[in-house]
């Protein structure tokens, strides 16, 4: 495996994990923080913005998943992928407990 495949696998995990909360809140009609809110990442964005943000993350995550060749028989790329999921999920679970409730 080439080094950049591990990097792509890691970021594929991060982007694909980020799809879930934004998509779920968006299709539920709930407001949820996005980078486009005011202040970014803390204020609440509309459900439509959340769905659009989740779909953008899905496209980028898929492209990185393919570039990282995560579906190959290499356990190292799968571990990098899972590390990317953990790297964004754990800090964000703490961060989003403090979101604004406007």
Q: Which domain holds residue 54?
A: 3-98
Q: Are 45 and 34 in contact (CB under 8 A)?
A: yes
Q: Are 10 and 83 in contact (CB under 8 A)?
A: yes
pLDDT level of residue 99 (50, 70, 90 thresholds)? low
Question: What is the domain count for the chain?
Answer: 1
Res 68: pLDDT: 93
SS3 93: helix
Taking 50 as the threshold, does the pLDDT of residue 95 lie above it? yes
Taking 70 as the threshold, does the pLDDT of residue 96 lie above it? yes
Res 51: pLDDT: 98
ω before 39 within 30° of 0 (cis)? yes
What would the mean pLDDT of 55-79 be, rounded to a whole number? Answer: 93
């Amino acid at each position: 495996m080439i080094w950049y495949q591990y990097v792509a696998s890691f970021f594929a995990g991060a982007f694909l994990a980020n799809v879930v909360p934004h998509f779920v809140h968006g299709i539920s009609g709930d407001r949820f923080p996005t980078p486009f809110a005011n202040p970014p990442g803390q204020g609440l964005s509309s459900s439509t913005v959340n769905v659009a943000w989740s779909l953008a993350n899905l496209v980028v995550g898929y492209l990185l998943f393919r570039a990282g060749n995560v579906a190959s028989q290499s356990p190292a790329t799968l571990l990098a992928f899972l590390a990317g999921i953990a790297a964004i999920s754990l800090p964000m679970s703490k961060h989003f407990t403090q979101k604004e409730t406007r």
